[in-house]
Structure 1
Amino acid sequence: MGDLKRLTPIEAAHQFINNHFPNCQGALLAGSVVRGEATETSDLDIVIFDKRLGSSYRESLIDYGWAIEVFAHNLDSYKHFFEMDYKSAKPSMQRMVSEGIILKDAGIIDSLKKEALAILNNGPEEWSVDTINIKRYFITDALDDFIGCTKPAEELFIANTLAELLSEFVLRTNRHWIGTSKWLIRSLKDYDEEFANQFFEAFNSFYKTGVKTKIINLSEYVLEPLGGKLFDGFSLGKD
């Protein structure tokens, strides 16, 4: 369809529900179009709750001029995804439900939103001391590889690994949700915007110049409150 005929996100979502899930008990429009962060390639994330479904499923399609991602659940199966996202500390399902604009509601959405918000507000499970030490060790290992590496191609991908490890470590040790891809920096900003800017500057500087100093300093800064780098004496799986 041409852009002039493209429906608004709300119009397209309502038509989709009316045509494909007219008897569902609840439906939400979520994602970037709801948060005001939509780009030219953004799709519509539509969450369905239909008691007739045997199990949850995800489906992608193009309709009404939009790419549409459907997340379909019955009135119980969504709980598995709440639990799975809680354990991974990446609460995508909880975010969709809590932020979603109501498209249809047979009296179930309010309780679902409260359930999602309660999980989001409580934060992820606290890491144990053993888990923190394991993460310290793997950050130390990657950092030492990064410092000693002299091959630009390898340095690039070690830096990528460090970005994921460091962001996870900062967020989880402070009981905040984590993210990957674009949600990595978004999660850091939700935690501490000033730190997120420092994080971005450290990696952006390396990618532009090849100078490692800011990433090394950032890594040591992140590790220091929890005991610093860890190598000597570390053991995993030994009786």
Structure 2
Amino acid sequence: MQADPAEQARRLVDERFPDALAVVLAGSTATGRATPGSDLDIAVLIEDGGVTRRETIRFEGRVVELFVHTRAGLAALFAADVAARRAVMQSMYVSGLVLVDRNGEARHVRRLAEADLREGPPPLAPGAVETRRYGLTDALDDLADTSDTIERLAVAGLVVNSAADLLCDHHQAWLGSGKWLPRRLMEADARRGAALLRGHLHSCEAGDPTALFEAASEILGLVGGPLREGYRRTWPGGTDSVAAAAGR
């Protein structure tokens, strides 16, 4: 029988971070979605002068993801997450289980995180939306054009991620990746998000991309519709590749 994750996390903190200012157990083990193979996601606020870092360890047989930060380090992480429109650290502090709250530090950080989440992510600049419209238009053209099963699967994944990016920005909602992509999509727009996800599933299972194409096209329509001829982007120079710049 596997150890209780909260008790396991407390033992780890007592051993490795006895002077922590705040500790939060986040992720699936704190939200009731844990599986036997779930790791522990633990945010640890330490005194100034320490090293802000992410570290993966194994403790009592379980993989642990440590997110260790000073106050200044956490402020920088919050700012970076807002800029990336993902709010990963903020979500950890808001939805996680508080294990240590020395002098109210965890409550203070949670209030800051809640303020960020309420505010929402910054909107994409018009040029960035235009670039994403162009990219999704191109991906949808490829989805309709290719008959190769493997290529279609690859393009379908690109369509889902591109459409999700635009839909979340349209609603000024937070983005997610991996298993957080469907969760964030449904929070942003339950109807369109579900249609996009169901279309992707049907495309993968049945090889028919029609529903995915229609769902992504509706999302594209929210932000100005397809963009092909007339798209123009000046190049900033430097070391950016074409692909890297197109993703901005």
8 A Cα contact 1:53 1:73, kept in partner: no
> What is the distance in 2 between the residues matched to 1:238 and 1:99?
41
> What is the distance in 1 between the residues matched to 2:49 and 2:68?
8
Corresponding position of 1:127: 124
TM-score (norm 2): 0.90
8 A Cα contact 2:57 2:63, kept in partner: yes
8 A Cα contact 2:81 2:89, kept in partner: yes
> Which amino acid counterpart does residue 154 of structure 2 have in structure 1?
F
> What is the distance in 2 between the residues matched to 1:237 and 1:28?
45
Q: Identity of paired residues, percent?
A: 27
Is 1:63–2:73 an aligned residue pair? no
Q: What value does the CA root-mean-square deviation take over the aligned residues?
A: 1.6
Is 1:227–2:224 an aligned residue pair? yes
Any stretches of 5+ residues in structure 1 without a counterpart?
none
Any stretches of 5+ residues in structure 2 without a counterpart?
237-248
1:148 aligned residue (145, 148, 151): 145
- The Cα offsets for residues 87-109 of structure 1, whole Å up to 9 and x where unpaired, read as 11111111111122111111211
8 A Cα contact 1:7 1:65, kept in partner: no
Local SS of the residue matching 1:138: helix
Which moves more between the two structures, 158-167 or 218-227?
Answer: 218-227
2:205 aligned residue (205, 208, 218): 208
- C-alpha change, 1:52 and 1:131, in structure 2 (3 Å) is closer
Is 1:98–2:94 an aligned residue pair? yes
> What is the distance in 1 between the residues matched to 2:216 and 2:191?
16
Number of residue-to-residue matches in the alignment = 235
> What is the distance in 2 between the residues matched to 1:86 and 1:238?
26
> Following superposition of structure 1 onto structure 2, how do residues 23-38 of structure 1 map, counting pairs within 5 Å?
23-38=19-34
8 A Cα contact 1:30 1:101, kept in partner: yes
Is 1:191–2:188 an aligned residue pair? yes
- The Cα offsets for residues 149-207 of structure 1, whole Å up to 9 and x where unpaired, read as 12111111011111100011100121001111111101111122232321121111111
* Runs of 4 or more consecutive aligned structure 1 residues displaced over 4 Å after TM superposition: none
TM-score (norm 1): 0.93
Corresponding position of 2:242: none
Deviation at 1:52, TM superposition (A): 5.3
Deviation at 1:238, TM superposition (A): 7.1
